[in-house]
Amino acid sequence: MVNSDNSNQLSSTAIQEALSDALKAIESAQSLDQLKDIRINHAGDKSPIALANREIGNLTGPEKADAGKRIGEARNSIKNALDDKNADLLIKRENEILISEKVDVTQVLANAKTNSFLTGARHPLTTIAEQISDVFIAMGYEVATGPEAEAEWFNFDSLNISPDHPSRSPSDTFYVESFDSGVVLRTQTSPVQMRTMLEKKPPIYVIAPGKVFRTDELDATHTPVFHQVEGLAVDENLTMANLKGTLDHLAKSMFGENVETRFRPSYFPFTEPSAELDLRCFVCSQRDSASKKECKTCRGEGWIEWGGCGMVNPNVLETAGINSKKYSGFAFGMGLERTLMFRHGITDMHDLVEADIRFTSAFGLGI
Ligand code: DAH
């Protein structure tokens, strides 16, 4: 017990008593909170042992040394006992949490209404990106990726897109931080072409699905965040015929053997010559010519645009350090949302972006 008399407070009995009180209290602690109080009471600034320690200053000579030694030992014992108990209680608490928060992963959740199991569904965009990748992996292509926040140089300049090209305007392209930051949210998967060419030597065969961004408002046919798949091949003797054969194979894998495709001349700064790949309109292709004119899907054209493609512009090959006299390349890029819309007759983009399980589950878990 605390006593104002120095000699009493520092007597070996008093210190022994303080020590044994402390050890008993520590021993009895049932929780970390209790141990915290015990630490304050028995080892804190106002604990008997700390008060006794302060009295040492009033002593001199061998008495001082002796009291100092005894108090030091007692304090050490208390500290060690507190540390040991703290470790025990931590383990105890963890074990209790493991039991109280146990999750039964084998428990079956039934949907109360239908009594069927609640399962998730893969989003059809994920599935189609994998399906397209698989078509190309089977032909020996590798899957390539690039960052979504992309250097303006990769997204535009390296692809032969001039500094004053309208697509660079902030009304079309999202700039990260500021217009002069040099970083954009990529507007196309085409920058993956340049990244790949700088990294690998020909022959190069890559397919790159990914997210792209443009400042469009969300409506039935547009979304500011959408997906494209990019393809690039660089090798000796590649021609437009290889490109057409490759894309026909992709079209058949996506839409069935009977799909009809055509190349329509077009322009992209990074390909020369360039083409638009069209598919024969699924909606009106079977109908007579009168109803074709009224077709809302192709607006009477008989064809719908699927993606862009062409032979890699020699300027782009040279930017990547590839000898354009020795190698040629072809490239293509198409929208995944568009592909799904054609394939499944989806008419509203909202269905694709809202991720409503009632919509996605119709596509099942297929991979
Ligand atoms: N990047 C183009 C776009 O977003 C699509 C494209 C056209 C990709 C031609 C290509 C290509 O690889 O060769 O509209």
Q: Are residues 128 and 58 in the same domain?
A: no
What is the DSSP annotation of 281-304?
Answer: -TTTTTS-HHHHTT-TTTTTSSEE
Query: Ligand 1 centroid to 333 CA: how many Å?
Result: 4
Contact 124, 367 (CB under 8 A): no
Q: Are 173 and 206 in contact (CB under 8 A)?
A: no
**Ligand 1 centre and the CA of 94: distance in Å?**
55
Residue 178 lies in a domain: yes
CA 184 to centroid of chain Cα atoms: 18
Task: With residue 72 as reference, give the H or E element that holds it.
Answer: helix 61-100
One domain for residues 266 and 358: yes
pLDDT of residue 118: 63
Q: Is residue 108 part of a domain?
A: no
Distance from the CA of 159 to the center of ligand 1, in angstroms?
Answer: 10
Tell me the β-bridge partners of 331.
232, 310
Distance (angstroms) between ligand 1 centre and the Cα of 25 equals 75
* Closest atom of ligand 1 to CA, residue 188: 4
Query: Which mutation among 187, 188, 225 tests ligand 1's pocket best, with the greatest number of atoms within 8 A of CB?
Result: 188
Q: Which atom of ligand 1 is nearest to the CA of 232?
A: 12
Residues 207 and 289 in one domain: yes
Tell me which of 84, 100, 116 is where a domain ends: 100
Instruction: Establish if 168 belongs to a structural domain.
Output: yes
The residue segments making up the domain with residue 199 are: 124-363
**For atom 12 of ligand 1, which residue has the closest CA?**
332
Beta-strand pair 204-213/142-143: parallel
Quick one: 346 and 244 in the same domain? yes
pLDDT at position 7: 53
Asked whether residue 65 is assigned to any structural domain, the reply reads yes
For ligand 1, whether the C-beta of 141 sits within 6 Å is no
Q: 331: Cβ below 6 Å to ligand 1?
A: yes
**Ligand 1 centroid, distance to 84 Cα (angstroms):** 66
pLDDT in tens, the chain (367 residues): 344 444 566 777 888 999 999 999 999 999 999 999 999 999 999 999 998 888 888 888 888 888 889 999 999 999 999 999 999 999 999 999 999 999 988 877 666 566 566 667 889 999 999 999 999 999 999 999 999 999 999 999 999 999 999 999 999 999 999 999 999 999 999 999 999 999 999 999 999 999 999 999 999 989 999 999 999 999 999 999 999 999 999 999 999 999 999 999 999 999 999 999 999 987 787 556 666 677 877 888 889 999 999 999 999 999 999 999 999 999 999 999 999 999 998 989 999 998 788 888 888 665 4
Residues 167 and 202 in one domain: yes
Write the DSSP symbol of residue 117: B
**Which atom number of ligand 1 is nearest to the Cα of residue 334?**
5
The residue out of 60, 85, 100 marking a domain boundary is 100
pTM, entire model: 0.70
Residues 233 and 352 in one domain: yes
Distance CA 115, CA 133 (A): 37
Classify residue 105: in a domain, yes or no. no
313 lines ligand 1 (CB under 6 A): no
Note whether 128 and 95 are same-domain residues.
no
In terms of residues, how long is the chain? Answer: 367
Question: Taking a C-beta distance cutoff of 8 angstroms, is the pair 235, 311 a contact?
Answer: no
Q: Do 215 and 259 share a domain, yes or no?
A: yes
Nearest CA to ligand 1 atom 13: 309
Q: Whose CA is nearest to atom 7 of ligand 1?
A: 308
C-alpha 323 to ligand 1 mean position (Å)? 22
**Same domain as 175, residue 65:** no
Residue 109 domain-assigned? no
| Nearest alpha carbon, ligand 1 atom 14 | 308
Q: Given the CA of residue 330, which atom of ligand 1 is nearest to it?
A: 13
- In this prediction, residue 57 carries a pLDDT of 84
Residue with tokens 């007759």: 345
| Residue 119 within a domain | no
Same domain, 78 and 10: yes
Tell me, yes or no, whether 232 lies in a domain. Answer: yes
CB 179 within 8 A of CB 163: no
**Six token digits for residue 84:** 């040991």
Residues 249 and 339 in one domain: yes
Helix, strand, coil shares of the chain as percentages rounded to 5?
Answer: 45, 20, 35
Cα–Cα distances in angstroms (integers) from residue 83 to residues 32, 37, 88, in the given order:
11, 14, 9
Distances (CA, A) of 268 to 149, 239, 273, 308, 318: 22, 17, 8, 8, 17
Same-domain check for residues 149 and 27: no
CATH number at residue 142: 3.30.930.10
Cα-based distances in Å from 26 to 37, 76, 218, 275: 10, 14, 65, 81
Residue 111 CA from chain centroid, whole number = 30
Structurally, how many domains does the chain consist of? 2
Distance of alpha carbon 252 from alpha carbon 127, whole angstroms: 17
Instruction: Tell me how far the alpha carbon of residue 228 lies from the centroid of ligand 1, in angstroms.
Output: 9
pLDDT for res 292: 66
Q: Which residue, judged by its Cα, is nearest atom 3 of ligand 1?
A: 188
Give the residue, by CA position, lying nearest to ligand 1 atom 8: 333
Say how many Å lie between the CA of residue 236 and the centre of ligand 1.
22
